[in-house]
With several copies, the nearest count.
Chain A
Amino acid sequence: MSTQAKLAKQCVANILAAIEQAEDELARLDAFAGDGDHGAGMVRGMRAAHEAAQTAEGDLAGPVIAAAGTAFTNAAGGASGALFGMFIATVGQSLNAAPDTENVCRAVEAGVNVVCKLGKTKVGDKTMIDTLMPFVRALEEAAQQGLTPVEAWSYALPAAKSGMEATADMVSGRGRSSRLGERSRGGLDPGAVSAYYMLRAVADTLNTP
């Protein structure tokens, strides 16, 4: 990959592919305790994000990611449209010119914090945060251990996966399904699953020679 921007565009393209492939699964997960629109919304958002990313100019990754996030928010709608879009846009805006592991970690952390703030969520509420927060904590560890960004991302991915899996046994505290109380237990949170697929698609992209 010749530039940061190209790599970022490739990440977005691969996220889109991953989300398109998972559309039906995400819809089914959302139908369990929600309203079934999560698959369609993520695909709509990612298609717009991809289009915006491809046409973004310059060599830096940040603006590409920021453009993708804004496009995602505008197109997707719904809770996840606002939150994933703001997450992606914030990561893009926070990423400075020289994305070493610490910078990447800080950018993702900024994105996660925006989601927590806007969504009034914390770990354990059975949301995308249960994937994203453990991922950020693991990224921090990787930064302290001096791993490269590519190594760090792969190092942190299992924490995201465990976080996602843990949502199955949680009772929803936020979002549409929170009205169901105990009945929301037993299914994975669709937003937590989307978040994991996004992070994994980035890992796959970074690890592709």
Chain B
Amino acid sequence: MTRLFNDPTQFKEEMIGGFTLAYSRYLRRVPDAAGVMALGAPQPGKVAVLIGGGSGHYPVFAGYVGKGMADVAVIGDVFTSPSGEQIYRCTKAVDGGAGVLYTYGNYSGDVLNFGMAEMRCQNEGIDVRTVTVTDDVASAEDVEDRRGIAGDFFMIKTAGASAARGDSLDDVEALTRRANDRTRSFGIAFGGCTLPGQSEPLFTVDPGKMELGLGLHGEPGIKSADMASASEIARMMVDIVLADAPADAGHKVAVLLNGLGSTKYEELFVLYKDIHAQLEASGLALHNPLVGEFAGSLNMAGCSLSLLWLDDELQALYDAPASTPAFTHL
């Protein structure tokens, strides 16, 4: 459960306070808004990348603000999209005249609030484009209806690297959309998280069971199944993700095995051993795998597998340097 807090209604503000104090070498508070922006932003002539959503998912989103990734993260309350007003202010703060790309998870609240901000900014002459992340194969049949989970990381990395090398807004948007089109994720949950100030978890999972199709917001999964061994879980995750592989996407993939708060690194490595072997057995070439915590849900227990089918251009962006509080790559 969430134990460290003072007044739960001040949780977000205090979190932003501590985060900006710790990482002032990367970023600073957006004046008069619930957001953090990279040092050096706005950079005239450079496309700005704006990310955001509810908090409780660190390192998504604020942890990815810095060089080579996002220019600004708008920070909502725990599991709550930031309001259009906050998104608007953050957009104004980072626009460098070359336009702003929004990328965020496809949730009703986020779509509404980011959508309102986008309209308002467009009306004021700021060119804003949006790529909503829809990686979770468990969340809907139609890709456009799917929600975003840990695959967020790939889109933030792609957009950030594209903007950092000076691409136009058209190109940043097109590349980020291409990354989203080529990303698939699937997750499972073993236990729910507890919001600050609450004493009961959002949901519980019977011991001996697991929830298939986790939500990153503590929502229960799509259905229950009997708990299985790491090897069986690896097989299931790989099968489900590959069954939904994008057409004609080649055979080179970036791999991200994401752990939620209470499922730890050692367990992820045990699971990863079979995931790696099975992906290779299915003919894929694995590029720079990542195993760790990349998109959380407070102290929820669970994990997800995300694949991004790379082409040369996406790979170049994926391999580009980045330096942020939560992800640094040389």
B217 within 8 A of A: yes
A82 within 8 A of B: yes
Q: What's the least CB distance linking A113 to chain B, in Å?
A: 15
- Give chain A's interface secondary structure class: helix
Q: Hey, which chain A residues are within 8 Å of B84, CB to CB?
A: 73-74, 82
Which listed residue, A75, A119, A179, touches B83 by the CB 8 Å rule?
Answer: A75
Grouping DSSP codes into helix (H, G, I), strand (E, B) and loop, the B interface class, with mixed when no group exceeds half, is loop
Whether a CB of chain A sits under 8 angstroms from the CB of B81 is yes
Closest Cβ–Cβ distance, residue A114 to chain B (whole Å): 11
A175-B108 contact given A31-B203, A37-B79, CB 8 Å threshold: yes
Residue B78 interfacial (CB < 8 Å): yes
Task: Answer whether residue B220 sits at the interface, using C-beta atoms and an 8 A cutoff.
Answer: yes
Query: Are A27 and B198 in contact, with the CB atoms below 8 A?
Result: yes
The reply to whether A81 and B81 form a contact with Cβ atoms under 8 Å apart is yes
Asked if B323 lies at the interface with its beta carbon under 8 angstroms from chain A, I say: no
Interface residues of B in 208-241 (CB under 8 A from A): 213, 215, 217-220, 222-223
Q: Which listed segment binds A: B62-70, B109-117, B249-257?
A: B109-117
Q: Does B9 contact A (CB under 8 A)?
A: yes
Q: Which residues of B contact A95 (CB under 8 A)?
A: none
Given contacts A77-B82, A81-B81, contact A31 B202 (CB under 8 A): yes
B222 touches which of A82, A83, A180 (Cβ 8 Å): A180
Docked Cα-Cα span, A176 to B149, in Å, equals 13
Interface residues of B in 34-82 (CB under 8 A from A): 54, 76-82
Answer yes or no: B130 CB below 8 A from chain A CBs: no
As a 0/1 sequence over residues 123 to 152 of chain B, the CB contacts with chain A under 8 angstroms (1 = contact) are 000000000000000111000000100000
Contact between A77 and B83, CB atoms less than 8 A apart: yes
Q: With the chains together, A31 CA to B77 CA distance in Å? A: 16
Complex CA gap A74/B76 in Å reads 11
Tell me if B327 is interfacial: C-beta within 8 Å of chain A: no
Residue B268 is within 8 A (CB to CB) of chain A in the complex: no
Residues of B within 8 Å of A118, CB to CB, are 112
B residues in contact with A31, CB < 8 Å: 200, 202-203, 218
Given contacts A83-B112, A119-B112, A176-B108, contact A77 B77 (CB under 8 A): yes
Q: Mark each residue of chain B from 73 to 99: 1 if its CB lies under 8 Å from any CB of chain A, else 0.
A: 000111111111110000000000000
Q: Quick check: is B195 within 8 A (CB to CB) of the other chain?
A: yes
Contact of B108 among A73, A75, A77, A79 (CB under 8 A): A79
Most A C-beta atoms less than 10 A away, residue of B82, B138, B202: B202
| Candidates B9, B80, B198, B217; contact of A81 at CB < 8 Å | B80
Which residues on B are within 8 Å of A, measured CB to CB?
A: 8-9, 54, 76-86, 107-109, 112-113, 116, 138-140, 147, 195, 198, 200, 202-203, 213, 215, 217-220, 222-223
Can you name 25 A-B pairs with beta carbons within 8 Å? A31-B218, A33-B219, A33-B220, A35-B217, A35-B218, A37-B77, A40-B77, A73-B85, A73-B116, A74-B85, A76-B83, A77-B54, A77-B77, A77-B81, A78-B77, A78-B109, A79-B109, A79-B112, A82-B83, A82-B84, A174-B108, A176-B107, A177-B219, A179-B215, A183-B220
